[in-house]
């Protein structure tokens, strides 16, 4: 009588985190008797339609601002209480900052097994994770009491709607104790991004140390603009160096992208980076070092100075577009 | 302000493993304090410089992990605790958090600082579990930290930008790389570190048993990922850009 729960994380603004739909798509194939969601914060009730379309039959929902105003603790308290009441076999959630914060506390509260960064879920007690930059896939057996909690990496599978009716909304009736209202979000800032979003752009142009200095990212912006419908990303090294904001980071600690074409410029291909881009349909690498690991996954590799090749490429793209 | 910093000894990420006879050989590479932890140590030192108090470095690992603690002490931390026990081999995130929380509770603290995630394990959940077990709030992904009275104002990195978070103390926070510029240990610091107090404790010393440290997840099988074959590679002779543009055209993205 397996019951699978999916934590439907809501972004600021109330939209359901995209990975949630991927998780629901996968969860439908696991042969559970019930597939249900928990959604907490503004937008929770409204999310029932979208969650239902992807196969959820019930959503335990609360639109209370408390869940978005306070960090992790109110949500963790309520989820733990709901788990005790309804006893799901498996709780799936996206591997986002907020879900990590919340589910880690749920795991510690109830002593539940937590697998983070999973790249697939095969059964209620079996997951997979890619290690060594995706060179190896390990099968993980989940022991301990039910439910186990699994946090899945973005884009681990394609989201496909099931055409289901809106999920049945069950209002969450768990009180939120005041002592869980401690760390409080007082402001939110979203960095202005022009052009398509990094995770959604069909072409991603990204830069690393080989660009030598922050100012040279302008070359990538020019190239992205010439291509059109392209976004600019970066390796962790240059984000840590403060050249570009973290919102541009691709990799283990940053975003996972899966574009039609990924163009890595002056990026050596550290494991940490590869994890975030290796599923791109086509990979093009431009790097001075012929032995750079990035070449081992590139469909097309150019051994050369990115600073020289990029402006030439921008011109070549413009001329081909006429 | 008494600040605990959690550190971890890991294989040097610049050279994490070696291939011996075509097989991955762990334990050959040099071990270092996780570079991500240096930001935590630096953040703690700055708070203590400003408000007084001590920086206590806590780690869990084999006996050799004392080197990571020494590294933090040589940067200026005041004392350290290493939890080491044969029963801890293969500990998962929750077991690790139980051990760290028990070690932290042995002395008074106002703040616990950790890196966002370890460079080798990357689970990114241990500090939040520690916060829950200590019964304190948390604020993760700090890129700026400001302390006043009994609370912190944290600039918290998010996928889209950043949030400002007000977090009362005591608390657990995690810091991102780039939150500060970690200092290098000076020669004097390295010499002083040798005489700073460090404590080595076992699970039993912390009042924990083997069950607390038992992992509940295990690796069943390790398989190679589907190969992504390398394609063509050209030395740039001035036509590299044209080759890339041709491919983009062929793929219909331009």
In chain A, where the domains are located: 3-180, 203-321
Calculate mean pLDDT across residues A161-187: 96
* B191 C-beta neighbours (distance < 10 Å), count: 11
- The closest alpha carbon to A224, from A202, A242, A247, A256, belongs to A202
Query: B219: which chain A residues are within 8 Å (Cβ-Cβ)?
Result: 138-141
- Look at B220 and A284 and tell me if their CB atoms are within 8 Å: no
Calculate mean pLDDT across residues B232-247: 94
The domain defined by B3-213 folds into Rossmann fold (3.40.50)
Q: Give yes or no for a contact between A77 and A108, defined as CB atoms under 8 angstroms apart.
A: no
More confident residue, B224 or A96: A96
Confidence at B29, pLDDT banded by 50, 70, 90: low
Q: In whole angstroms, how far apart are CA B21 and each of A293, B24, B25? A: 20, 8, 9
Q: Give yes or no for a contact between A274 and A208, defined as CB atoms under 8 angstroms apart.
A: no
Q: In whole angstroms, how far apart are CA B195 and each of A170, B79, B80, B188, B198? A: 61, 10, 11, 12, 9
- Assign domain A203-321 to a CATH class: alpha beta
Calculate mean pLDDT across residues A7-24: 95
Confidence at A240, pLDDT banded by 50, 70, 90: confident
Report the pLDDT value the prediction gives residue A313, as an integer from 0 to 100.
97
Backbone angles phi, psi at A312, to 5 degrees: -65, -40
Pairing state between β B31-33 and A300-303: unpaired
Report the pLDDT value the prediction gives residue B27, as an integer from 0 to 100.
53
Report the pLDDT value the prediction gives residue A193, as an integer from 0 to 100.
67
Report the pLDDT value the prediction gives residue B241, as an integer from 0 to 100.
96
The CA R_g of chain B, rounded to the nearest whole Å, is 22
Residue matched to tokens 């005790």 = A84
Residue matched to tokens 């006043």 = B148
Domain ranges in chain B are 3-213
Calculate mean pLDDT across residues A191-214: 90
Answer yes or no: is pLDDT of B15 > 80: no
* A15 C-beta neighbours (distance < 10 Å), count: 14
State how far residue B90 is from chain A, nearest Cα, in angstroms: 13
Answer yes or no: is pLDDT of B12 > 60: yes
B153: tokens are 């104002």
Report the pLDDT value the prediction gives residue A280, as an integer from 0 to 100.
94
Longest dimension (CA), chain B: 68
Report the pLDDT value the prediction gives residue A114, as an integer from 0 to 100.
97
Query: B177: which chain A residues are within 8 Å (Cβ-Cβ)?
Result: 236, 240
Establish whether the linkage from the previous residue to A87 is cis, with ω within 30° of 0.
no
Does residue A76 sit at the B interface (CB-CB below 8 Å)?
yes
Same fold, A3-180 and A203-321: yes
- Look at B129 and A108 and tell me if their CB atoms are within 8 Å: yes
Out of A136, A301, A316, whose CB is closest to B222?
A: A136
Percent of chain A with pLDDT over 90: 87
Calculate mean pLDDT across residues A122-129: 95
Report the pLDDT value the prediction gives residue B11, as an integer from 0 to 100.
83
Query: A190: which chain B residues are within 8 Å (Cβ-Cβ)?
Result: 160-161
Report the pLDDT value the prediction gives residue B198, as an integer from 0 to 100.
97
* B69 C-beta neighbours (distance < 10 Å), count: 27
Nearest residue of B to residue A152 by CA position? B123
- Please, what is the average pLDDT of chain A? 94
| Residues β-bridged to residue B172 | B112, B138
Confidence at A271, pLDDT banded by 50, 70, 90: confident
Calculate mean pLDDT across residues B155-167: 93
Q: Which helix (H) or strand (E) holds A97?
A: helix A97-110
Confidence at A195, pLDDT banded by 50, 70, 90: confident
A86: tokens are 């309804």
Distance CA A247, CA A211 (A): 18
Report the pLDDT value the prediction gives residue A60, as an integer from 0 to 100.
98
Answer yes or no: is pLDDT of A141 > 60: yes
Pairing state between β B217-224 and A136-142: antiparallel
CATH of domain A3-180: 3.40.50.620
Confidence at B18, pLDDT banded by 50, 70, 90: low
């Amino acid at each position: 009588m397996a019951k699978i729960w999916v934590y439907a994380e809501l972004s600021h603004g109330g939209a359901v985190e995209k990975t949630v739909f991927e998780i629901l798509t996968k969860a439908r194939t696991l042969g559970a008797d019930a597939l249900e969601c928990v959604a907490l914060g503004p937008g929770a009730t409204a999310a029932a339609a979208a969650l239902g379309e992807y196969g959820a039959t019930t959503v335990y929902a609360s639109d209370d601002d408390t869940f978005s105003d306070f960090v992790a603790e109110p949500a963790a308290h309520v989820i733990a209480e709901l788990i005790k009441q309804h006893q799901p076999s498996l709780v799936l959630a996206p591997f986002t900052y907020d879900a990590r914060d919340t589910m880690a506390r749920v795991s510690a509260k109830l002593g539940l097994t937590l697998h983070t960064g999973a790249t697939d879920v095969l059964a209620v007690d079996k997951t997979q994770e890619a290690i060594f930059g995706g060179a190896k896939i390990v099968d993980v057996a989940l022991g301990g009491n039910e439910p186990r909690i699994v946090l899945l990496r973005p884009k681990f599978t394609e989201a496909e709607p099931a055409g289901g009716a809106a999920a049945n909304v069950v209002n969450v009736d768990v009180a939120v104790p005041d002592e869980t209202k401690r760390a409080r979000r007082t402001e939110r800032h979203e960095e202005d991004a022009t052009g398509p979003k990094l995770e959604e752009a069909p072409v991603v142009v990204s830069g690393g140390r080989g660009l030598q200095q922050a100012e040279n990212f302008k070359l990538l912006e020019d190239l992205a603009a010439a291509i059109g419908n392209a976004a600019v990303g970066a390796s962790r090294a240059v984000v840590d160096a403060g050249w570009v904001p973290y919102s541009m980071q691709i990799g283990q600690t940053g975003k996972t992208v899966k574009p039609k074409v990924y163009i890595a410029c002056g990026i050596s291909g550290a494991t940490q980076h590869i994890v975030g881009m290796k599923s791109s349909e086509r990979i093009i690498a431009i790097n001075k070092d012929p032995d750079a690991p990035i070449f081992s996954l590139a469909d097309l590799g150019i051994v050369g100075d990115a600073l020289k090749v990029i402006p030439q490429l921008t011109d070549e793209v413009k001329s081909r577009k006429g | 302000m008494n600040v605990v910093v959690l550190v971890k000894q890991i294989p040097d990420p610049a050279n994490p493993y070696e291939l011996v006879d075509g097989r991955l050989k762990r334990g050959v590479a040099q071990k270092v304090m996780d570079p991500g932890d240096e930001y935590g140590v630096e953040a703690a030192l700055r708070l203590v410089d400003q408000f007084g108090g001590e920086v206590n470095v806590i780690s869990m690992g084999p006996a050799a992990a004392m080197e990571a603690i020494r590294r933090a002490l040589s940067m200026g931390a005041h004392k350290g605790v290493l939890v080491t026990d044969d029963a801890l081999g293969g500990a998962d995130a929750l077991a690790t958090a139980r051990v760290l929380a028990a070690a932290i509770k042995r002395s008074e603290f106002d703040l616990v600082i950790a890196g966002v995630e370890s460079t080798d394990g990357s689970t990114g959940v241990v500090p939040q579990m520690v916060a829950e077990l200590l019964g304190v709030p948390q604020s993760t992904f700090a890129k700026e930290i400001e302390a006043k009275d009994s609370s912190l104002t944290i600039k918290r990195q998010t996928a889209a930008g950043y949030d400002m978070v007000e977090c009362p103390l005591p608390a657990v926070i995690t810091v991102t790389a780039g939150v500060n510029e970690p200092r290098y240990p000076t020669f004097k610091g390295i010499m002083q570190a040798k005489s700073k107090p460090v404590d080595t404790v076992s699970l039993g010393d912390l009042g924990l048993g083997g069950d607390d440290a038992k992992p509940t997840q295990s690796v069943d099988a390790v398989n190679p990922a589907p190969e992504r074959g390398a394609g063509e590679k050209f030395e740039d002779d001035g036509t590299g850009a044209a080759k890339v543009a041709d491919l983009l055209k062929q793929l219909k993205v331009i």
